[in-house]
A and B are shown apart, each in its own frame.
Chain A
Amino acid sequence: MSNPARVTIRKLPTDVRGLDDIMGGGIPEFSFNIIAGMPGCGKTTLAHQIVFANATPKQPALYFTVLGEPALKMLRYQQQYSFFDEAKLGQAIRFSNLGDLLLEKDLNAVLEEIIRQVTAAKPKIVVVDSFRTAVRKAFSGTSEVEMQSFIQRLSQFLTSWQATTFLVGEYAVEEIRDNPVFTFVDGIFWLSQVAERNSVVRKLQIMKLRGQASVPGLHTIRISDSGVQAFSRTLGLNRSKTKTMRPRRLSCGIAELDKMLGGGILEGDSCLVAGPSGTGKSALATQFIAEGLRHGEPGIVVIFEERPHGYLQRAASFGLNLRTAQEEGTLETLYLRPLDLSVDETMQEILDAITRVGAKRLVIDSLVGFEMALAPGFRADFRESLYRMIGALTGAGVTILSTVEIEDSFTSLQFSHYAISFLTDDIIRLRYVEIDGQLRKVMVVVKMRGGNHSKDIREYVITNKGVVIIHPRRTDYTGLTTGIPQQTGPRKTQEDEAAPEAKATT
């Protein structure tokens, strides 16, 4: 005998970007939920967004206000958001103020009125805002049992009438344990905000959701003209396709470096170029993206320290025409200096751009700039979020080249001040060395996860063609990695170099 079919719980869309992903697909139909948090977190805006997304004249939403913000005042502000559709007011979305009933009678009268209106309208969504104010007023001095009984009756009635319900209320975290409403509800949407220095960090947590798996933890939210937007900690990348089994080698636009890399960077790798200021990290990254464009691979360049115009102009000085690709839509240059964005929001911008152009290559120039551009409160999450994004993108086959600035020590070879091994498959280290009375530059491939690579330390210059590797490995010096090598072989005769590097003009 076959097993009887389980009930299928349909999911309602929230119309809040990112929230359906966080909730595991949407709001469970007929669920009884609470949207809680301190004032100013976006509770009412979130409730309105859900209401506007789901209400229709046939399946309307009833929005009850009780002693909180009057609906007229809500509408004054909510109409500023792009989700607000005034055509839905009246037929699809019906506001009702129950404050008078509560003041003149009691919560039973409120419940009766809710029952009367729900029975008449058969709504798809019911909101009670602010539930906490109503309950506190009604049950001041009465027993907890009475309050539990009221909440239970309300919950049972609304669920029986197949309404998906949201109670909106201002609660403090410490109330969760003792307040019976949190026991009865099927879902708890907890919103919070913390001001840190010059920025405000808003977070959302799905503390409870019966019947389906949500993404745990705190997720950044932002309230913009579009209303509430949520940024899932998974960045919606759980469903990304996995890396191809036999990845190609991608040229980085510098033939000698490709040889050092065993034929190029493996497709889907995350490659870190680390070095001090002026060693050509950005130039190398530009050559990498330009080479991809030459092979029909769209790209994204994310810059934090240089403006797009300057970036494109500098690329042009290396003979790399990125402007045309940008005009054709195969390249996007993102200049991100938000200063109060979360890392997840920033990454969402990058992901959106990747989707827009179908990018195969991504340059992040630089990780230090990226971190600095974030609000201080978000920097703690930086490496974790970066790890998630890099993992998901490379898993989907995007090849990432990131730069990181590090100070050269003249006693040892530091790779980065980040713990980078988990972030990167490949590491190319650039550094200054003192040779024959000159401050020259050398590079070495430190690590390549997917294959063998050259162990040579190679000298390079930056010319009007970009980074150019100029010499085979040196066998007449030792200690190149310290920056102050010792000469071990006979001194090679060399011509005086008036200008060893034809400085690129911008």
Chain B
Amino acid sequence: MSQASLKMRHLAKRLSVFECRAGTASEAKVPPAFEVFEKLRAYLGTFTGSKGICELVSCALPRARAEIPWLGAVHVKADGALEGLEELGAKHNRDELFEGGIVMVAQLLGLLVAFIGQSLTLRFLREVWPEVPLDDLAISGGDENENTE
């Protein structure tokens, strides 16, 4: 399992920092650190349906677990949501949760970039987070697609 690329981590971190500051909670009750993941999942679900997003998240989670072993306590539900997140709040501190959320989002973004390319991925992110500046992150530099090996 590969680590989330630095570019994807930067991207995920920026979105997570924005979410934490903005404090805009999604409908699902998830720890703030996983708010980005939840919004991204809901948005992508309109394109893929539950089955599609479930498969995407199911692919991202084991990759994230390789970096954050305690994500082993989390499972993917049929609609792609993560089950067991609420319990994690009692076991891990805020920083650990924040890091876990970033890795999970970074892995999901990595898969997305590999599948639809950087340009369209950024387009989607701008749709969900129009206030977050993303141009300076230059995720389009380097390889055309994320290496998902």
Residues of A within 8 A of B (CB): 65, 70-72, 75-76, 79, 86-87, 89-90, 95-100
Contacts and interface: CB of A to CB of B under 8 A. Distances in A.
Contacts of A97: 45-49, 52
A86 B123 CA distance: 7
A99 B78 CA distance: 13
Contacts of A70: 47-49, 52
Contacts, number: 52
Number of chain B interface residues as a range: 10 to 19
A65 B45 CA distance: 12
Interface in B114-131: 115-117, 119-120, 123-124, 127
Contacts of B79: 100
Contact of B120 (A65, A86, A99): A86
A48 to B, nearest CB: 14
B94 interface: no
A65 B49 CA distance: 9
A130 B52 CA distance: 16
Contact of B48 (A72, A79, A87): A72
A87 B119 CA distance: 10
B49 A76 contact: no
Contacts of B52: 70, 72, 97
Contacts of A87: 123
B50 interface: yes
B116 A75 contact: yes
B29 interface: no
Contact of A71 (B47, B51, B117, B123): B47
A76 B115 contact: yes
B15 to A, nearest CB: 17
Given A72-B115, A100-B79, 20 more contacts: A70-B48, A70-B49, A71-B47, A71-B48, A72-B116, A76-B115, A76-B116, A76-B117, A86-B119, A86-B123, A89-B120, A89-B123, A89-B124, A89-B127, A90-B124, A90-B127, A95-B46, A97-B47, A99-B49, A100-B51
A95 B52 CA distance: 14
A90 to B, nearest CB: 4
Nearest to B114: A76
A36 B127 CA distance: 32
Contacts of A65: 49
